Structure 1
Amino acid sequence: MAACSEMLKREFPSIDGELLTYVEDVLQSGADEFENGDEVYEAIGAILHEVSLEKSEDDIKQICDIFLDLLKPRNANGDGGGGMRGPAKILDAPIHLKEIAASQDVATDDIQSIWVVQRDDSLKVDSKKLEKAEAKRQQKLEKREQTKTTAPAAPILQMATASQVISKKDNKMEAKGTNRSMDIRIENFDVSFGDKVLLQNADLLLATGRRYGFVGRNGLGKTTLLKMISGKQLQIPSHISILHVEQEVVGDDTLAIESVLEVDTVRTELLRKERELNVQINAGSSDPELSHELSEVYSQLQLIEADKAPARASIILNGLGFTKEMQARATRTFSGGWRMRLALARALFSKPDLLLLDEPTNMLDIKAIIWLENYLQSWPTTLLVVSHDRNFLDTVPTDILYLHSQLIETYKGNYEQFDKTRTEKHKAQRREYEAQLAHRNHVQEFIDRFRYNANRAASVQSKIKMLEKLPELKPVEKEIEVTIKFPEVEPLNPPVLQLNEVQFKYSPEKVIFTSVNLSANLDSRICIVGENGAGKTTLLKIVMGILQPTGGLVHPHRGLRLGYFSQHHVDQLDMSVNCVELLQNAYPGKPIEEYRRQLGSFGVSGDLALQVVASLSGGQKSRVALAKMCMGRPNFLVLDEPTNHLDIETIEALGKAINKYNGGVILVSHDERLIRMICRELWVCGGGTVKSVEGGFDEYRKIIERELEAAAA
């Protein structure tokens, strides 16, 4: 038995004292009755599985066989496989069963026979210990079963699908390779996401060399359509190269500038060939063909202006914020945001026939955005960009694609022209609808009045036919206006927040800023700007108390309740629950109506509030994150890039809501229009400090433009 105990402790180190005693008692009491390993497994197998989840059923059964061998060793006559268990016994005289039975005392309450062996009481199982161990085992089983049933199932996300009608003519031209047009025409196509139809009988024409801004409300399918085009789920002529800037560059030992240069596969291959040929020639090869081949390679390199490629790549990287030192660093040393910039730089350098950009300004600071706006205005090929940056859309596109009512409408000009044209178009449609409705009502009134007048029968019939021939006009669908409403808060006496001689550094070499002296009150509308890495987010975290300053003091009002919206707030939402459950988990104990009312304050209402968070668009997730932030009724908002993924209408609504809010606001944003809407004070991060700029955003933009002009010169 001692050997069994040692083996139990060795094989099952996590077994507790009570279960160990219980298993030992079972083995000891059943030692004489166990016939094979299966019977041992039936007795203790379930408990052994409980205390060792990593062991399989076969492992446990093998251990039970060993227990049986220790308890009942095979006798000497056994063959090691099926010999008799226990010591060999030889009868030296016959047994008279009749005499043995007669000598037994028979009692009705305690029947004994030769078949019942009286055991030593010390070998019996303690019933109390057995009950306690069994109860503990049952408790563990119930807990595990409960965990299995309550664990949230991973959301099953549906995939987008597309169908398209392709003309026989286009099919024949594609098969023969005779279609050399650089225009992209996708006609009569549908796009669905699960049961939701995003586009139906839609047409899309992208003329070569035009720059298209793609706009529309969040969740209508703009990003989905870009993925369909880049994934060739919608048929596009095979000779047209497409590049979709969607994923960040993989981090490895490749230098940033080399990562951009290697996109030009023709140049890369020619340079590789040049190196190989030079090695062969320098090794003493006298083959004249090698010199001819090398001359041909040099000619091709000169033709594609390969020598100018590093300078062009460096200009693009510099414009996107990469210094000379950063361009010489390995890609693995950059964060995800900088790797996305690298992906954008690679796309701009490669100049595909069709460049697809989805919210390119989200990853950029204002200086890089201004540079990108200027760079794309001379873009030579076709550009399709999804953006909600109003200023960017006023500067870059030559045309606007407007997604609504499952269709795509094309408008000439930038966003400002589109907005005017669309407004006038809607007014004209409304006037036409109202005029026809009035005309119909007038004619119908005549028909109803003289329907039973025999003298007017001909006129009535004529009017009825005229009504039938009139085209049926549908009322102009007015888009639901997005509303955002921040909670009302009680006033606080100033000063609400003060920063005195604040400094922060990650190391003696990496000083972010020093000597910051700023203050804010409940009427503050402060916008923080500056290049990436200048310390904007660090400053917000110091205000929030997430980071402690390495010098100086932060003095918050004792009644200050801060609400923080971080850049990664959306990514940190629980994607497996619906919107109502998300708020319920964060702030339990409130009525369902209160959670729905809170979501409704941020434009998440109806069935949308019951959708799984993972199935929402980026902008819808942002609104849910804002709703969650405001459940705590903060009286001071600290917002870090809140406009990422929001559509233009929602950004407009956010600006209006901030202006109506009676608490304080500190905002980091690169959206020029939003900054101009709300900004009363501009804090600029840079040069190792943070300072307030007189003249507001206009003055800051002039400073940036002067810097860009100096860099270009």
Structure 2
Amino acid sequence: MLTIRDITVRLGGRTILDQAAATIPKDGKVGLIGRNGAGKSTLVKAIIGELEPDEGSIEMPRRARLGYIAQEAPAGDRSALQAVLDADAERMSLLAEAETCTDPNRLGDVHDRLIAIDAYTGEARAARILVGLGFDEEMQNRPLDSFSGGWKMRVALAGLLFSQPDVLLLDEPSNHLDLEATLWLENFLQTYPKTLIVISHERDLLNNVVDHILHLQQGKLTLYPGTYDSFERIRAERAAQAAAARANQDAQRKKLADYVARNSARASTAKQAQSRAKMLAKMQPIAAMAEDSSLSFDFPSPDELRPPLVTLDLASVGYEAEKPILRRLNLRIDPEDRIALLGRNGNGKTTLARLLARQLEPMEGSLSFSPKIRIGYFTQYQVEELPSDSTPLELMTRAMTDKPPVAVRGQLGRFGFSGNRATAGIGTLSGGERARLALALVTRDAPHMLILDEPTNHLDVDAREALVQALNDFAGAVILVSHDRHMVELAADRLVLVDQGTAENYEGSMEDYIDFVLGRNQPKSGDKAQVEGKPARKNGAVAREELKALRKKVSETETRMKRIQQQLDALDAALADPSSIKGDLAKLGIGEIGKRRTQAAEELEQAELSWFAASEAMDEYMGVTA
């Protein structure tokens, strides 16, 4: 059991944690959540002892082992496998002692403990963890210094999982992982036998792994039982209750204030008025639920282009004089396409994204673009390379030199940088704010095709939902690379698997792909489902065409509803004030105008029914439950 006992932490004159308290249940699986900048990392530092609270304490059983990944990635000439084995200090120490111990009684105790911690299967367990995180046998035996920083962090994660601490503390563990490794990690954590605290903004991980949500807001901690979806339902109910209570209190305050104003001057009622004035003064205002007005993503709509936007015909792509990484690419991208690229890191997803972004040229075959196409390409490097000594306004002004200041301000406002936020130093922005600024920059020219490579790494859950909504409202094509399958399921209607040196349409659903990665529900050799591949591909293509048709119907119906509503507004105005009637309506009598108003209302009702039906059908295709 871990107890956070009324801790307060102040940094730079600002209170980050304010009498925060919670008790983590023994062997519980807890998701620690909160908005960007809420203080989650500060709380973690306090738990691991890196930061001393100004007040309060954090208590754990004396012998409990707490495991946390250090910020510095492991390095040296050890192999990845050896680094993972070394992470279990007790195992390594006991094995060494077993080799040199001469005391038979002590040696017996050592062997008993080695058996208890399953030490003799350690190498096989470590190898399985590394495989799950994307390391094949060759990679497991490579020295640490041969890996990039991201892969070194995977080794650190593997070592932490292998050491199996009593309290496992993970801070955004999927940020360095691809979708496939994220799925494996989620599966691993579901059966973790000890206490788990994970900071994550992955909705699916929080729904499938944790049994409690620890919410950090305004310096306070609240522990909720259940998954993230359960937490959201409870929070929504509390928000509704708070809003109702606030409205009721506002009504009471108004009533009391009116009474005091009307009766203070009368001798007969002055005493009662004074009493009510005291009641009014003692009433503590019920605060409204905190809302973040900067949660904003609004991609500018591009002008229309005829399809296709991009065509790849037997194209190969790679880097300089090296052999091609991807070969025989055949791909067509149309204006309304929503494509997610699947496949493990290192298989070529980013290479394909760079080819589509015109950063690479094909080595063989052909690649053609619509002549007037504009492309927006977002990567994590852009977020990390934003100049800290500049401001969003300065940066956008330099990027939009041919635009007036109002257009520059308008583009920043689309992504939540209005007023003082536009002139704040970039160095003071949170990771999520920097990601939004990078998105504002890459979409400043209203691109016809938006390529997003891991756009969610710095975004919290609410910001990810806002991004999904913005992508679904975007009028151009979207190419998405993301380990957040919730985003993939909601924002993509076409899957492309990048694997074995090529990229091909994946005709199954996202659920099928998850089963494939985890080895679940796999067809046996000769199964009907495996033999009849062509009909499945046909059905997948038909589903995509039907989804496009539904998107079009929703858009057309919305336009029709808007037109009918304008007609209704004009007819209502004419009926309300016949003297204001102008144009064609002036030729009609009041009776005819009333009939037209009735017809328009019926048309609007039918249009709304049609819109609801199409929207529900579209949601079903995209995996959303109504």
The two structures share one fold, judged by TM-score above 0.5: yes
Match of 2:544? none
Match of 1:264? 88
Per-residue deviation at 1:271?
2.4
Q: Is the 8 A contact 2:74 2:156 kept in 1?
A: no
Per-residue deviation at 1:479?
3.7
Match of 2:243? 430
Match of 1:220? 38
Match of 2:17? 199
Match of 1:19? none
Per-residue deviation at 1:453?
4.5
Distance in 2 between residues matched to 1:393 and 1:519, nearest whole Å: 36
Percent pairwise identity? 37
Give secondary structure in 2 for the equivalent of 1:483: coil
Establish whether residue 676 from structure 1 lines up as the match of residue 513 from structure 2: no
Distance in 1 between residues matched to 2:237 and 2:301, nearest whole Å: 37
Distance in 2 between residues matched to 1:309 and 1:526, nearest whole Å: 41
Match of 1:185? 4
Distance in 1 between residues matched to 2:388 and 2:70, nearest whole Å: 21
Pair 294,446 (structure 1): closer, same or farther in 2 beyond 3 Å: closer
Q: Is the 8 A contact 1:248 1:342 kept in 2?
A: no
Q: Is the 8 A contact 2:134 2:181 kept in 1?
A: yes
Match of 1:233? 52
Per-residue deviation at 1:215?
1.9
Match of 2:584? none
Distance in 2 between residues matched to 1:401 and 1:317, nearest whole Å: 29
How many equivalent pairs are there?
A: 517
Give secondary structure in 2 for the equivalent of 1:570: helix
Match of 1:245? 69
Per-residue deviation at 1:501?
0.7
Amino acid corresponding to residue 207 of structure 1 in structure 2: P
Establish whether residue 664 from structure 1 lines up as the match of residue 477 from structure 2: yes
Give secondary structure in 2 for the equivalent of 1:499: strand
Match of 1:381? 194
Which whole-Å deviations, capped at 9, do the CAs of 1:15-43 have from their partners, x for residues lacking one?
xxxxxxxxxxxxxxxxxxxxxxxxxxxxx
Distance in 2 between residues matched to 1:352 and 1:307, nearest whole Å: 18
Which whole-Å deviations, capped at 9, do the CAs of 1:524-563 have from their partners, x for residues lacking one?
1111111111211011111122222332111111111211
Relative to structure 2, which stretch is displaced further, 463-472 or 641-650? 463-472
Relative to structure 2, which stretch is displaced further, 632-641 or 337-346? 632-641
Match of 2:346? 533
Distance in 2 between residues matched to 1:454 and 1:613, nearest whole Å: 62
Q: Is the 8 A contact 1:485 1:657 kept in 2?
A: yes
Amino acid corresponding to residue 500 of structure 1 in structure 2: D
Amino acid corresponding to residue 472 of structure 2 in structure 1: N
Amino acid corresponding to residue 531 of structure 1 in structure 2: R
Amino acid corresponding to residue 190 of structure 1 in structure 2: V
Distance in 2 between residues matched to 1:702 and 1:295, nearest whole Å: 45
Distance in 2 between residues matched to 1:618 and 1:654, nearest whole Å: 15
Match among 134, 137, 145 for residue 321 of structure 1: 134
Amino acid corresponding to residue 227 of structure 1 in structure 2: K
Give secondary structure in 1 for the equivalent of 2:325: strand
Distance in 1 between residues matched to 2:276 and 2:336, nearest whole Å: 64
Pair 600,271 (structure 1): closer, same or farther in 2 beyond 3 Å: same
Per-residue deviation at 1:662?
1.8
Q: Is the 8 A contact 2:294 2:415 kept in 1?
A: no
Give secondary structure in 2 for the equivalent of 1:252: coil
Per-residue deviation at 1:464?
4.4
Match of 2:29? 211
Return 5+ residue gaps in structure 2 as ranges: 524-626
Establish whether residue 409 from structure 1 lines up as the match of residue 222 from structure 2: yes
Q: How does 1:41-56 map to 2 (within 5 A)?
A: none
Relative to structure 2, which stretch is displaced further, 558-567 or 397-406? 397-406
Q: C-alpha root-mean-square deviation of aligned residues, in Å?
A: 2.8
Pair 388,525 (structure 1): closer, same or farther in 2 beyond 3 Å: same
Distance in 2 between residues matched to 1:297 and 1:449, nearest whole Å: 86
Establish whether residue 652 from structure 1 lines up as the match of residue 470 from structure 2: no
Match of 1:697? 510
Pair 568,457 (structure 1): closer, same or farther in 2 beyond 3 Å: closer
Distance in 2 between residues matched to 1:332 and 1:226, nearest whole Å: 28
Q: Is the 8 A contact 2:516 2:522 kept in 1?
A: no
Q: Is the 8 A contact 1:395 1:414 kept in 2?
A: yes
Pair 608,351 (structure 1): closer, same or farther in 2 beyond 3 Å: farther
Distance in 2 between residues matched to 1:444 and 1:297, nearest whole Å: 77
Give secondary structure in 2 for the equivalent of 1:401: strand
Per-residue deviation at 1:592?
5.0
Give secondary structure in 2 for the equivalent of 1:569: helix
Q: Is the 8 A contact 2:339 2:496 kept in 1?
A: yes
Q: Is the 8 A contact 1:530 1:536 kept in 2?
A: yes
Q: Is the 8 A contact 1:259 1:346 kept in 2?
A: yes
Match of 2:157? 344
Q: Larger C-alpha radius of gyration, 1 or 2?
A: 1
Per-residue deviation at 1:476?
3.9
Establish whether residue 569 from structure 1 lines up as the match of residue 382 from structure 2: yes
Pair 466,567 (structure 1): closer, same or farther in 2 beyond 3 Å: closer
Distance in 1 between residues matched to 2:487 and 2:211, nearest whole Å: 23
Return 5+ residue gaps in structure 1 as ranges: 1-181, 278-288
Give secondary structure in 2 for the equivalent of 1:217: coil
Amino acid corresponding to residue 10 of structure 2 in structure 1: V
Pair 622,473 (structure 1): closer, same or farther in 2 beyond 3 Å: closer
Give secondary structure in 2 for the equivalent of 1:662: coil
Q: Is the 8 A contact 1:577 1:612 kept in 2?
A: yes
TM-score, scaled relative to structure 2: 0.76
Match of 1:124? none
Give secondary structure in 1 for the equivalent of 2:165: coil
Pair 306,485 (structure 1): closer, same or farther in 2 beyond 3 Å: same
Per-residue deviation at 1:500?
0.5
Match of 2:298? 485
Q: How does 1:340-379 map to 2 (within 5 A)?
A: 340-379=153-192
Q: Is the 8 A contact 2:7 2:17 kept in 1?
A: no
Which whole-Å deviations, capped at 9, do the CAs of 1:77-101 have from their partners, x for residues lacking one?
xxxxxxxxxxxxxxxxxxxxxxxxx
Which whole-Å deviations, capped at 9, do the CAs of 1:91-131 have from their partners, x for residues lacking one?
xxxxxxxxxxxxxxxxxxxxxxxxxxxxxxxxxxxxxxxxx
Give secondary structure in 2 for the equivalent of 1:325: helix
Match of 1:637? 450
Give secondary structure in 2 for the equivalent of 1:223: helix
Match of 2:78? 254
Pair 236,478 (structure 1): closer, same or farther in 2 beyond 3 Å: closer
Match of 1:620? 433
Distance in 1 between residues matched to 2:382 and 2:246, nearest whole Å: 45
Per-residue deviation at 1:671?
1.3
Distance in 1 between residues matched to 2:358 and 2:347, nearest whole Å: 19
TM-score, scaled relative to structure 1: 0.67
Amino acid corresponding to residue 327 of structure 2 in structure 1: T
Q: How does 1:443-592 map to 2 (within 5 A)?
A: 443-456=256-269, 459-460=272-273, 463-464=276-277, 466-467=279-280, 470-480=283-293, 482-504=295-317, 512-588=325-401
Distance in 1 between residues matched to 2:287 and 2:239, nearest whole Å: 12
Pair 709,607 (structure 1): closer, same or farther in 2 beyond 3 Å: farther
Distance in 2 between residues matched to 1:293 and 1:697, nearest whole Å: 54
Per-residue deviation at 1:587?
4.1
Amino acid corresponding to residue 254 of structure 1 in structure 2: R
Q: Is the 8 A contact 2:2 2:59 kept in 1?
A: no
Pair 215,595 (structure 1): closer, same or farther in 2 beyond 3 Å: farther
Pair 402,304 (structure 1): closer, same or farther in 2 beyond 3 Å: closer
Amino acid corresponding to residue 142 of structure 2 in structure 1: R
Give secondary structure in 1 for the equivalent of 2:135: coil
